Amino acid sequence: MNQTTGNDGSATDTFAHVEDRRASSGIDRDLVNIVAVFALSAVLILCSRFVSPALGSWNQVLTILTLSSFLIVLSFGQGLVILVGGLDLSTPSLVVIGGVLATVYGSDGNAFYVLPIALCVCALIGLVNGAGVVILGIPPFIMTLASSIFVASAALGLTGGTPRGNSPEILAFLMKERWLGIPVVVYFVVLFAIVGWIVQSRTTLGRRLYAIGVNREAARIAGIDVGLTEAIPYAISAACAGFVGMMLVGYSDGATLRMGDSYLLPGIAAVVIGGSSILGGSGSFVGTVGGAILLTTLGTVISAIGLDQGYRTIIEGSIILVALVLLREDLFSGLRLRNRKA
């Protein structure tokens, strides 16, 4: 990355800090996190045979990859928001509005132009979230929570409480068809993971997001348009959530007003489990993918055991807490860095 020096040298320090975290110990740590989450997922799949003979097979692996596709797409956007030190609590409602728009307006052969428009609507809502955080200075969790209430109310008014319509054929093809014995959505997830990794780790936008997550003021001194750049992750997160709603429509052939409720906590948990700091400035999308697969694997094992959904939520919350405890050194060092640069 280009380094810009100023009278106080803060910009240079911040960019050097970003490169140091990502190019030396950061990459080693990310690699350890990635290997750990994927290895733990594999162990859980193998050990699940002791829970039920039907588990631990290749078909279960394909099922896990299919079910994790929703969480992988959602966590990419959430991960970018967390990367800049924010948090998006509007994702459940955006999942709903994406699914509702797809079923209500896209099930009569209009999908090829309705679905892109619906994604743009979701992205626009995300930009509003970003503008509230950046321009008005509203804390991210308050802004996105308020937005979530507004969007949920709009979905309720649009459907009258009961979404009508069927899944567009293109969404049904994505979620239900197979090619060479493998679900089409698995190919999509692999491609999405590659593109997501490139965007987050190998593009100018990704490097700027890392810099902002480390220190906003130093990033501004370095010439980054912090306001616009910080708002972009909210738009991406909203579009990803809307697309997850469309994927769920293709998977279940319909939408409900509660279809996004079960994705808020897992969306955050996958990012944290993948090794991202909740304060921003660090993390890898490959690790997030591993976190999503691990959570999905846990969910399938819990379902096979016959435990209630509440236990899954407890486990996910506990995982976030443990991850934060394990990352406490980064949290304290990050807070010290921000206080020193303030």
Confidence class for position 260, pLDDT limits 50, 70, 90: very high
pLDDT one-digit tens code per residue, 198-253: 999 999 999 999 999 988 889 999 999 999 999 999 999 999 999 999 999 999 98
Q: Does residue 281 carry a pLDDT above 60?
A: yes
Confidence class for position 4, pLDDT limits 50, 70, 90: very low
Q: Which residue has the higher pLDDT, 51 or 88?
A: 88
Distance CA 269, CA 266 (A): 5
Residue 334 CA: distances (Å) to CA of 85, 158, 183: 11, 44, 42
Q: What are the structural domain ranges in the chain?
A: 10-41+69-341
Residue with tokens 């409720």: 261
Candidate from 41-55, 79-93, 103-117, 150-164 with smallest mean pLDDT: 41-55
Query: DSSP string covering 298-321, please?
Result: HHHHHHHHT--HHHHHHHHHHHHH
Q: What does the mean pLDDT of the chain come to?
A: 84
Those residues with Cβ within 8 angstroms of residue 185's Cβ, 6 or more apart along the chain or in another chain: 65, 66, 69, 174, 175, 247
Residue 144 CA: distances (Å) to CA of 195, 259, 292: 26, 18, 22
Residue with tokens 């990419």: 76
Candidate from 127-131, 183-187, 265-269 with smallest mean pLDDT: 265-269
For the ranges 35-49, 240-254, 292-306, 324-338, the one whose mean pLDDT is highest: 240-254
> Once rounded to an integer, what is the mean pLDDT over residues 285-303?
89
Write out the two tokens for 127: 């930009």
Q: Please give the model's pTM, rounded to 2 decimal places.
A: 0.86
Distance CA 90, CA 73 (A): 15
Q: How many CB atoms lie within 10 A of CB 324?
A: 14
> Residue 160 region, left (φ>0) first, then alpha (ψ -120 to 50), else beta?
left
Q: How many CB atoms lie within 10 A of CB 330?
A: 19
The reported pLDDT for the residue numbered 299 is 83
> Once rounded to an integer, what is the mean pLDDT over residues 111-139?
94
> Once rounded to an integer, what is the mean pLDDT over residues 22-49?
74
Q: Does residue 60 carry a pLDDT above 70?
A: yes
The reported pLDDT for the residue numbered 141 is 92
The reported pLDDT for the residue numbered 316 is 67
76-109: b (≥16 Cβ within 10 Å) or e: bbbbbbbbbbbbbbbbbbbbbbbbbbbbbbbbee
Confidence class for position 323, pLDDT limits 50, 70, 90: low
pLDDT one-digit tens code per residue, 145-155: 999 999 999 99
C-alpha angle 223-229-233 in degrees, rounded to nearest 5? 155
Distance CA 240, CA 234 (A): 10
Q: In the chain, what's the furthest Cα-to-Cα distance?
A: 67
> Once rounded to an integer, what is the mean pLDDT over residues 62-66?
93
Distance CA 316, CA 296 (A): 11
DSSP state of 4: -
The reported pLDDT for the residue numbered 174 is 95
The reported pLDDT for the residue numbered 101 is 93
The class of domain 10-41+69-341 in CATH terms is: mainly alpha
